[in-house]
């Protein structure tokens, strides 16, 4: 086995995407806040329009995305001995990800997400079960695997042992001069906040969405959120906000970017993972912050054009470069004084 340039740890999940019209939606108003809910009437059987079984999970997605762009990638994680694992591992293998560090067990089932897609815009609600993903232990992270490391990317796990495993991988990466990329989701921010703070503060690059950034920082303004992350020692922070674009900063410059309008958006599941992939590839290739924002936005957009979390993505950096050259987005660039 060639030693990996990229190692990822995080969720490796079978996504069950359910299209459903026969479901309720309502809104609750609390002062200036509007909360929207998807609801199922008590004890009622609903008709489903369509069901798809698609390999996903943030840790696996980032490994797959980077492997497709030519980076030698390894995924470390625990999965069950079940049909879900078979589907997920077959897809990762097809995309060139090294699976030698995947552990399969009978102690739990493979992680599962049920994604409800409703007719209201791009609304989607997710029921997530971490399953065997959270069984990862520090001893499962082998030191010799990091001898050629350029980047380590982690996404949310929530148990004490699994977070210690991520912490060990961060230390090994930094000892070898690699960069640490973080895509923490709401699950670790809410369910293991102490670990979220430890792991984020030890990362070089952090990318999350607006809701996650608000929950972690307790702030409502993006500029204040960015300051908190930069004050923690983060070298680059990005916050995505769906159709409103993204904001990214390296402590010297802040770039607000819009989104591409080169076609219809079909499914935003996995768009955040694609965005981080764009940042990761850009950082490893010493690309400017301005172009990094464009590449990350392009990855996110291309992933969203097709249903599924790894579809529609480019198969080479050149293909990605061509897209960025041929299409434009609005950017507002400000220097931090």
Ranges of H-type helices in the chain: 58-68, 83-94, 160-175, 186-191, 193-201, 210-217, 222-231, 271-284, 289-304, 317-326
Question: Average pLDDT of 178-188?
Answer: 96
> DSSP per residue over 88-125, as a string?
HHHHHHHTT-B-TTEEEESSSPPEEEEEEE-SSTT-EE
The answer to the question of residue 118 being in a domain is no
The answer to the question of residue 33 being in a domain is no
The answer to the question of residue 125 being in a domain is no
- What's the confidence (pLDDT) of residue 281? 96
Tokens describing residue 14: 């079978």
Specify the pairing of strand 151-155 against strand 13-19.
unpaired
- Is the predicted pLDDT of residue 79 greater than 70, yes or no? yes
Interatomic CA distance for residues 15 and 293, integer angstroms = 28
Confirm if 113 and 129 have CB atoms less than 8 A apart.
Answer: yes
Q: Which residue has the higher pLDDT, 121 or 262?
A: 262
| pLDDT tens, residue by residue, 191-248 | 999 999 999 999 999 999 999 999 999 999 999 999 999 999 999 999 999 889 999 9
- What's the confidence (pLDDT) of residue 191? 94
Interatomic CA distance for residues 321 and 281, integer angstroms = 12
- Structural domain span for residue 92: 6-12+58-108+132-335
The answer to the question of residue 284 being in a domain is yes
Percentage above 90 pLDDT, the chain? 70
Helix (H, G, I), strand (E, B) or coil at 15: strand
Tokens describing residue 143: 């030191």
- Is the predicted pLDDT of residue 310 greater than 80, yes or no? no
The answer to the question of residue 217 being in a domain is yes
| Residue 168 binned pLDDT confidence (cut-offs 50, 70, 90) | very high
- Is the predicted pLDDT of residue 324 greater than 80, yes or no? yes
* Residue pointed to by tokens 């797959």: 64
| Residue 309 binned pLDDT confidence (cut-offs 50, 70, 90) | low
| pLDDT tens, residue by residue, 33-44 | 888 888 888 888
User: CATH number for the domain including 296?
Assistant: 3.40.1190.20
- Is the predicted pLDDT of residue 120 greater than 90, yes or no? no
- Is the predicted pLDDT of residue 262 greater than 80, yes or no? no
- What's the confidence (pLDDT) of residue 195? 97
| Residue 308 binned pLDDT confidence (cut-offs 50, 70, 90) | low
Question: Average pLDDT of 71-87?
Answer: 97
Helix (H, G, I), strand (E, B) or coil at 132: helix
- Is the predicted pLDDT of residue 1 greater than 80, yes or no? no
The answer to the question of residue 115 being in a domain is no
- What's the confidence (pLDDT) of residue 307? 66
Confirm if 87 and 310 have CB atoms less than 8 A apart.
Answer: no
Q: What is the mean pLDDT of the chain?
A: 91
The answer to the question of residue 122 being in a domain is no
Confirm if 165 and 141 have CB atoms less than 8 A apart.
Answer: yes
Question: Average pLDDT of 141-158?
Answer: 96
DSSP-assigned letter for residue 147 = T
The answer to the question of residue 223 being in a domain is yes
- What's the confidence (pLDDT) of residue 41? 85
* Residue pointed to by tokens 């300051």: 227
How many separate domains does the chain show? 1
| pLDDT tens, residue by residue, 2-57 | 789 999 999 999 999 898 888 888 888 877 788 888 888 888 888 899 999 999 99
């Amino acid at each position: 086995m060639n030693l990996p340039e990229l190692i990822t740890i995080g969720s490796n999940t079978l996504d069950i995407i359910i299209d459903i019209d026969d479901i309720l939606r309502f809104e609750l108003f609390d002062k200036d806040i509007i909360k929207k809910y998807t609801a199922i009437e008590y004890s009622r059987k609903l008709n489903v329009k369509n069901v798809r079984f698609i390999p996903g999970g943030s840790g696996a997605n980032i490994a797959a995305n980077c492997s497709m762009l030519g980076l030698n990638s390894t995924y470390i994680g625990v999965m069950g001995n079940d049909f879900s694992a078979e589907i997920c591992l077959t897809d990762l293998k097809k995309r060139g990800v090294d699976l030698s560090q995947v552990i399969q067990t009978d102690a739990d089932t493979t992680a599962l997400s049920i994604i409800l897609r409703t007719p209201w815009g791009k609304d989607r609600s997710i029921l997530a079960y971490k399953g065997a993903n959270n069984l990862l232990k520090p001893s499962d992270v082998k030191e010799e695997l990091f001898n050629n490391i350029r980047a380590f990317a982690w996404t949310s796990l929530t148990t004490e042992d699994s977070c210690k495993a991520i912490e060990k991988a961060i230390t090994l990466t930094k000892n070898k001069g690699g960069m640490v990329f973080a895509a923490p989701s709401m699950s670790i921010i809410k369910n293991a906040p102490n670990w979220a703070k430890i792991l984020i503060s030890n990362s070089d690059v952090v990318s999350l969405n607006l809701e996650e950034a608000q929950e972690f920082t307790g702030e409502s303004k993006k500029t204040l959120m960015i300051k908190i992350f930069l004050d923690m020692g983060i070298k680059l922070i990005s916050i995505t906000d769906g159709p409103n674009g993204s904001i990214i900063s390296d402590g010297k410059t802040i770039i607000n970017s819009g989104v591409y309008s080169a076609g219809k958006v079909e499914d935003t599941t996995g768009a955040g993972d694609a965005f981080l992939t764009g940042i990761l590839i850009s950082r490893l290739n010493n690309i400017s912050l301005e172009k990094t924002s464009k590449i990350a936005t392009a990855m996110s957009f291309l992933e969203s054009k097709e249903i599924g979390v790894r579809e529609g993505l480019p198969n080479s950096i050149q293909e990605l470069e061509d897209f960025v050259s041929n299409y434009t987005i609005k950017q507002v660039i400000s220097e931090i004084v």
